[in-house]
Chain A
């Protein structure tokens, strides 16, 4: 068995009202920032799945992302593998960072 560390990044769907993003955007003039636009505010969840394979782990995190961490009516999500660690031989740090799926 191995431990797979994932990040699930959830964002409001394009076109969905995002008052948090709008509030950030409206505050930018106070910082004298004039070059930033299209701010969207979401949430990031990090979690570890213990599974026999990466495919098995991804299926678990994908189901969780769809059912609980995001609401498909209003949000999209992307999954990134941060780290894979063998539980039996703890070598640590076998990384496949950057792999995403949405």
Chain B
């Protein structure tokens, strides 16, 4: 089974994502930003970085790239798309997930390890998670999750909040100024998904914690979740899609 990683100009976590997929036992495929052809992959990762220099706003220029036409069509058909860090910003700007990522409340680029907790374990992106907090890195200047109050309420009601920043005791870091909330995100939101639950984005980097030699393999809980869900979808789609020959 193939899982794609989009490469935009200034993507910088694409190699980490490709490696994490290889560790998970699937064939990683590079998807160049200038082509809308997704090469028959069963899921897509939009990796971290600074696509198109993050000019205007992080993610907005990437939104209009040819590959995003392919990704949007894939998502509309129920295809699984995971945006990590800059990839989350691209998905938000593309309106494929709700909300926006603002400049960090501290105004500082935040590069450190944080704790996030999966809010639910029945999503395609968290099904292989233990439910305990994950200790994984962030590296971003614009990660402050924002949506208006009505949208936030709706996300909570629909179970679309996938991850929250948590304190060491596991409680959500709801105060936007507390240290465990690294960027001032409203309701401590670190990751969300769309209403159909096939498109998700998060600011932290699971792909950078994919092997114990890197310090931890906490992130593999999420990469494995994606791979299991993609394999299920590929199997359900039947041999025509899996074989890719007809």
Contact = CB atoms under 8 A, between A and B. Distances in A.
A48 to B, nearest CB: 18
A86 B53 CA distance: 35
Interface in A1-56: 16-17, 19-20, 23, 43
B108 to A, nearest CB: 9
Interface stretch (B73-81, B95-103, B223-231): B95-103
A68 B102 contact: no
Nearest to B105: A19
Interface stretch (B56-64, B113-121, B208-216): B56-64
Contact of B184 (A17, A69, A73, A74): A17
Size band of the A side of the interface?
A: 10 to 19
A85 interface: no
Given A16-B146, A20-B107, A23-B107, A74 B102 contact: yes
B14 interface: no
A76 interface: no
B60 A71 contact: yes
B133 to A, nearest CB: 26
B78 to A, nearest CB: 25
A38 B208 CA distance: 40
B107 A19 contact: yes
Interface in A45-100: 68-69, 71, 73-74
A17 B146 contact: yes
Given A16-B146, A17-B146, A17-B184, A71 B93 contact: yes
Contacts of A71: 57, 60, 93, 100
Contact of B103 (A19, A43, A68, A69): A19
A49 B103 CA distance: 31
B89 to A, nearest CB: 11
B147 interface: yes
Contacts of B106: 19
Contacts of B184: 17, 19
B104 interface: yes
A68 B144 CA distance: 20
A86 to B, nearest CB: 30
Given A16-B102, A20-B103, A68 B60 contact: yes
Interface of A: 16-17, 19-20, 23, 43, 68-69, 71, 73-74
25 contacts: A16-B102, A17-B102, A17-B105, A17-B144, A17-B146, A19-B103, A19-B104, A19-B105, A19-B107, A19-B184, A20-B103, A20-B107, A23-B107, A43-B56, A68-B56, A68-B60, A68-B64, A69-B56, A71-B57, A71-B93, A73-B100, A73-B146, A73-B148, A74-B102, A74-B146
User: Across chains A and B, which 4 residue pairs bring their CB atoms closest together, nearest first?
Assistant: A19-B107, A73-B100, A74-B100, A19-B103
